[in-house]
Amino acid sequence: MKELNPDEIQHLIKVLAESEHIPRPIVPQLEGLIFWYLPKAGDSPAELMQWAMRECAAEGGTAGDYVALSKPLPVEQILERWLTPVGDEARQALGTWLELHYNVNTWASMDANLAKGDPYMTALGLDNVHPIDEQEADTAYLEHMNNVQAVVELLNKLLPEVGIFAPVIIVDGAATEIEAGPLRLRLVADGWQVMRVDDEERAHERHMDRMLAAFGLLNAVLPTLGITAKVMIEPILGEAILIGNVRVEPGPSGWTSRIDTDIPVEFDLTIPDGVAGDWNEVLDAALAARGNWRASASLAVIAAASHIGTPAAHAFIAGYSDEQSPSQDETVRDLAEALHRLPEWEAAA
């Protein structure tokens, strides 16, 4: 990374100081993602999450305007994107980096005694900035936060029962506003004021955030199950996630899936690492078994496919084992076509 200039260092220190009292959202669905960031106004949280998952190999999720990650973001991204780290973990990661690379005691923003004599804090006019240390104020603030958090937990349990599945988060540093999908709750003198802000543009943004989050999750989980089919968001309307010819769509009560017969299925020829055999050996065995009444011939085909062990191999075995229907012939025909050896299979008929 390039050397930071004094203005960039001062900007990072100021960000740490200003983010001190921004509460980290508490979202049970994102438990374990401890590094939270707030993009600047107008920037897409989903785009930042996708960048971090792609470039940093981080797990991620979004909650309203916030992004939660399993790893801290590089400092150059915090600068370039004007991000605000939220919560102790993300702020400590940035502060530790500054301390190690520039010997800047960034935690002076949390302790007025440490701030004295720090030229960066003095230059920023933050040498007397420190957390509220009056016991009465601390007690009142903690009581307020506990009350607001109780509201958040109640909404997280209640709203899914009425079809609102978006995470409930605190959106401001004073903990006076809560966002819950299309609902915005604001604390006023006589209680909570509830407004619906689900305009068309915001509804589309939330829909795409939900799709991108599911897209990232599937790309992380499916390969561990041996499923190598490409995962993609429907390119035109973005209303579904496609996994091969499986169509997954979001709904008010969760996700639904179905086979889309209009999508052609490509035979998955993937061979896992460490497997000695390949699909050509399976087809060779099937060619040798065609017209051979001995059970050992068919078993040789099944054995060759079982060595590959992928979901495609299991599906092939299921289709090939069905000798009482056209399934067996169609299964081998699909494989021969995928291997560009269809004339061999047809010639063996």
Judgement on whether residues 126 and 145 belong to the same structural domain of the protein: no
User: Residue 296 in 3-state DSSP?
Assistant: helix
In angstroms, how far is CA 296 from the centroid of its own chain?
48
In a domain, residue 267? The reply is no
Q: What's the one-letter identity of residue 343?
A: P
Residue 214 in tokens: 């599911």
Judgement on whether residues 38 and 146 belong to the same structural domain of the protein: no
Judgement on whether residues 41 and 103 belong to the same structural domain of the protein: yes
The DSSP bridge partners found for residue 256 are 249
Judgement on whether residues 164 and 235 belong to the same structural domain of the protein: no
Judgement on whether residues 10 and 124 belong to the same structural domain of the protein: yes
CA dist 174 and 337 (Å) reads: 63
In a domain, residue 272? The reply is no
DSSP H or E stretch at residue 306 = helix 295-308
The mean pLDDT of the chain is 80
pLDDT confidence bin for 85, thresholds 50/70/90: very high
In a domain, residue 273? The reply is no
* Domain final residue pick, 131, 152, 187: 131
Judgement on whether residues 192 and 210 belong to the same structural domain of the protein: no
| DSSP notation for 27-89 | -GGGTT--EEEEPPTTS-HHHHHHHHHHHS---EEEETTEEEESSPPPHHHHHHHT-EEESHH
In a domain, residue 171? The reply is yes
In a domain, residue 41? The reply is yes
User: Residue 106 has what pLDDT?
Assistant: 60
Judgement on whether residues 188 and 205 belong to the same structural domain of the protein: no
- Say how many domains are in the chain: 4
Q: What is the DSSP secondary structure assignment for residue 193, as one 8-state letter?
A: E
In a domain, residue 124? The reply is yes
Judgement on whether residues 190 and 216 belong to the same structural domain of the protein: no
The reported pTM is: 0.39
Maximum Cα–Cα distance for the chain, whole Å?
91
User: Given a cut of 70, is residue 147 above it in pLDDT?
Assistant: yes
* Domain final residue pick, 151, 177, 197: 197
User: Residue 120 has what pLDDT?
Assistant: 47
In a domain, residue 253? The reply is yes
The vertex-205 CA angle with 201 and 211, nearest 5°, equals: 145
Question: Distance between the two ends of the chain, CA-based, in angstroms?
Answer: 64
* Domain final residue pick, 259, 290, 307: 259
pLDDT confidence bin for 108, thresholds 50/70/90: very low
User: Residue 73 has what pLDDT?
Assistant: 92
Q: Which residue range is the domain that position 284 belongs to?
A: 279-347
Judgement on whether residues 18 and 74 belong to the same structural domain of the protein: yes
Higher pLDDT, 310 or 266: 310
Q: What is the DSSP secondary structure assignment for residue 229, as one 8-state letter?
A: P
| pLDDT, mean of residues 140-164 | 84
Report the 10 Å Cβ neighbour count for 212: 23
Judgement on whether residues 20 and 121 belong to the same structural domain of the protein: yes
CA dist 285 and 301 (Å) reads: 5
Judgement on whether residues 309 and 250 belong to the same structural domain of the protein: no
Residue 282 · residue 343 · CB < 8 Å: no
- DSSP alpha helix (H) spans, 56-195: 75-81, 88-102, 112-115, 119-123, 135-158
Judgement on whether residues 320 and 232 belong to the same structural domain of the protein: no
pLDDT 10s digits, 250-277: 876 678 888 777 776 677 788 888 877 8
Rg of the chain (C-alpha set): 28
Which strands make up the sheet holding 177-180, listed edge to edge? 168-170, 177-180, 183-188, 191-196
Percent of the chain with pLDDT over 90: 10
User: Given a cut of 50, is residue 181 above it in pLDDT?
Assistant: yes
Residue 4 in tokens: 């930071």
In a domain, residue 103? The reply is yes
User: Given a cut of 60, is residue 129 above it in pLDDT?
Assistant: no
